[in-house]
């Protein structure tokens, strides 16, 4: 059961990055800029993307990203990850995501975690992946919570701990992810009554924060 679940979940996680990043590109996550000119440039970047003019979008995003705007950094990383309007370069992608992640941007923290988890643009390092997942997970990022739960369930990069795995998977499942619910059920079936009681107490304490 565990091996089959791991194979299924790994394939799902490999798809999550592209799905989540395309949401960012489509402009579903918006921010307000203090400088009107910067807001105008983001609008122009969005318009260029909608017209599939990715090179122009990148041209507007780069100065914003260099100025420290997290959303622009996130989106510029996506363009490099996908090879849209710029050279496909996972190293360049994680460079921009890391800049946004260092400012506490949860989507970027999750993206950096995925890169370390799957060795995209960096040497694979699941301990480092877990560190970045946890940053996003504590902010309520459902995919990061699910990914962190899996690492704890299998003891990859972190100590194997079904109580901690159950906590993060429960938080992710509570946000409506059906696949995570299946994984949570599998983890629960391997837990003792004492472990489950501990996990529920941790969940209650986390939600009370």
Q: Any idea what the CATH number is for the domain that residue 46 is in?
A: 1.25.40.10
CA distances, 131 to each of 33, 64, 146 (Å): 30, 27, 14
The string of pLDDT tens digits covering residues 115-151 is 999 999 999 999 999 999 999 999 999 999 999 999 9
Total-model pTM: 0.83
Domain that holds residue 180: 2-208
Rounded CA-CA distance 133/156 in Å is 13
Number of domains in the chain: 1
The string of pLDDT tens digits covering residues 182-200 is 899 999 999 999 999 999 9
């Amino acid at each position: 059961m565990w091996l089959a679940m791991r194979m299924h979940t790994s394939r799902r996680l490999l798809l999550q990055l592209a799905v989540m990043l395309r949401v960012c590109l489509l402009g579903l996550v918006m921010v307000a800029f203090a400088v009107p000119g910067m807001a105008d440039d983001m609008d122009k970047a969005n318009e260029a993307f909608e017209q599939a003019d990715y090179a122009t979008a990148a041209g507007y995003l780069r100065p914003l990203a260099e100025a420290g705007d997290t959303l622009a950094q996130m989106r510029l990383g996506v363009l490099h990850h996908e090879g849209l309007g710029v050279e496909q370069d996972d190293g360049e992608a994680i460079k921009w995501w890391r800049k946004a992640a260092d400012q506490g941007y949860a989507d970027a923290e999750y993206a950096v975690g995925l890169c370390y988890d799957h060795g995209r643009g960096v040497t694979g390092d699941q301990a480092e992946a877990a560190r970045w997942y946890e940053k996003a997970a504590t902010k309520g990022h459902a995919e990061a919570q699910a990914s962190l739960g899996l690492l704890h369930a299998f003891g990859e990069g972190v100590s194997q701990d079904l109580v901690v795995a159950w906590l993060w998977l429960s938080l992710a499942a509570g946000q409506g992810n059906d696949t995570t619910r299946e994984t949570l059920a599998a983890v629960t079936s391997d837990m003792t009554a004492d472990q489950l009681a501990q996990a529920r107490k941790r969940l209650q304490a986390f939600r009370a924060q």
